[in-house]
A and B are shown apart, each in its own frame.
Chain A
Amino acid sequence: MRTFAIWATALLLALPPFGFAAEPSRTVALTQIVEHPSLDAARRGVLDELAAAGFVSGRNLTVDYQNAQGNPVTAAQIARKFAGARPEVIVAITTPSAQAMAAATREVPIVFCAVSDPVGAKLVKQLDHPGGNVTGTRDFPPLAEQLDLIRELSPGAKMLGVIYNPGETNSVSMVDALKRLAPAKNFQVIEAAAPKSGDVLSAARQLAGKAEAIYIPLDNTVVSALEAVIKVGREAKIPVYSADTDSVGRGAVASLGFDYYDVGRQTGQQVVRVLRGERPGDMPVESIGKLSLFLNSQAATAMGVTVPDAVRQRAANPPSP
């Protein structure tokens, strides 16, 4: 038994800091809380932007990527690994990963991505001059513009159903903002809570007959069970709109928002600036500049929405037949 323990310890200690090899190469580490299409797209965007700036993964850039697979405790351990490996920049995708990273190091530059409220999450003290070792992009969705789009597509709708997980930070702050904004846009918000993916179907059914349109915020729980909402939307002819653009491909009628690949590209620009010697503390937290309209004509027909030509022309994705 004792020899086993000695061998195990020896093995652990003997492991060189893999991922940051000996050749003179630049080093970037990425951490992400969970596998998710939007987050994966953001990560690809970061790496593509780095490649466009001449930092090519595998050639002159060593990339260490770790995913916590949905477990916040693992995220904390990944943070320690990166703090010890001391890459030149750490890209932290999502709020919990960024918080764990910021707690683990005050020296290594951190650039966050897919964080809605960095000040509330205490990642930075202020947006225009963060001060410490942390900066990044904030992706708070353009709620007013999204409500305008829903108004354009469902002109008569008043009751707007929202399905969300009260346990997700991003969704709660979004729904709060939505409730403040709705009266001005002539909507009334009806909430339906879905604490687990398994609760999404019953939450959607609960809205049938009450809501005239359903809005899905940036909510990992609900988005992971989106098909259940789409099913109810088709059956009850209630158009389903989403805050994230990826859900449009999966059956939501439309969304105005960020393509997370673009979010990643913009974050990547900040990473490049840090690699070229800028200090994160002097770089303002950026809002996402580019908004894209996504439209799913098939879903619109199935849910009883007539799409005006004006909207069809603005759509970024080629309208499906």
Chain B
Amino acid sequence: MSAIALLGAVEIGLVFGLVALGVYLSFRVLQFPDLTVDGSFPLGAAVAAALIVRAVDPWLATLAAAAAGALAGLATAWLHLRLGILHLLASILTMIALYSINLRIMGRPNVALLGERTVLSPLQDGPIPSYALTPLAFAVAVFAIKWLLDRFLGSEIGLALRATGANPRMARAQGIRTERAILLGLASSNALVALAGALFAQGQGSADVTLGVGVIVVGLAAVIGGEALLDPRTVARATAACVLGSVLYRLLVALALNVEAFGLQAQDLNLVTAALVALALALPRWRAGRRRSKDRATGD
């Protein structure tokens, strides 16, 4: 595997690390199965792209994208809390609606950013090639956000959020306003996902309305895969697991792109990716099982 392919996988993995952090916040912390993600990822891309081609400062555009994601999260929370719609369905409704909204924002299905000034432009044309510098910049940014999220979840408001997810009735009995916690949690979760969408669009040169395909699946795979690799005993470990899981997933896709080396064809890509992820998830368990049986054999 070439350095560009490897670093490219790390770069995309880090961007999706933000998605995984968002998914962790909704699915794990709040216990809220939120599929809004499939809409808020392209929403972030759409808002950032639409603003950038209108010559808005790319940093401002990226910030606006995150804000738009927060609004999408609020919409789902509102549908659930105020209209009493089941959480899963509420998020599906927002996701469906966002498809049309994203088309409206962009005015067409695809907005090209090739050659536009983006937040990544300063990394180009320097002495260090951009394919190496971009993942480095993303790593710094993603771990900074992870650290902020850790701090947030350790704060009083964060603890209220975690209590709401763990046991809403008990949380209410302790005087926690669970509705506010859900609103805040979904807003921050989708802001992270939209931020990822905005960064991805700027990295790959276009925002496309189909960008949301399967984002939630990849996000969940990263969260669960990360947990399998890194026991999530503390919040800091759990969030680190999200980013780790996401990067590993992309490395496995990069590996699967060499399928012809194993006598398989391009059409087998998704199958190979699934098999590799299943293998990565099963390995730690096998190793643990083998250790146990060895312990037994030595009469320990």
Contacts and interface: CB of A to CB of B under 8 A. Distances in A.
B277 interface: no
A285 B248 CA distance: 39
Q: Is the interface of B mostly helix, strand, loop or mixed?
A: helix
A285 to B, nearest CB: 15
Interface string A106-135: 000000000000001111000000000000
Interface stretch (A8-16, A180-188, A312-320): A8-16
Nearest to B213: A71
Contacts of B110: 95-96, 99, 121, 169
A80 B258 contact: no
B210 interface: yes
Interface stretch (A59-67, A145-153, A299-307): A59-67
Contacts of A35: 267
Interface in B175-209: 200, 203-206, 208-209
Interface string B1-35: 11111111101100010000000000000000000
B2 A167 contact: no
B242 interface: no
A273 interface: no
Given A70-B213, A84-B2, A167-B103, A102 B8 contact: no
Interface residues of A, number: 51
A102 B114 contact: yes
B118 to A, nearest CB: 10
B253 interface: yes
Given A4-B284, A35-B267, A77 B9 contact: yes
B269 A12 contact: no
Interface string A1-32: 10011001001110101110000000000000
B257 interface: yes
A96 B208 contact: yes
A121 B248 CA distance: 32
B254 A77 contact: yes
A11 B276 CA distance: 13
Interface of A: 1, 4-5, 8, 11-13, 15, 17-19, 35, 64-74, 76-81, 83-86, 95-96, 99-100, 102-104, 120-123, 166-169, 172-173, 195
Interface of B: 1-9, 11-12, 16, 99, 103, 108-110, 112-115, 131, 200, 203-206, 208-211, 213-214, 218, 229, 248, 250-251, 253-255, 257-258, 260-261, 266-267, 269-270, 280, 283-284, 287
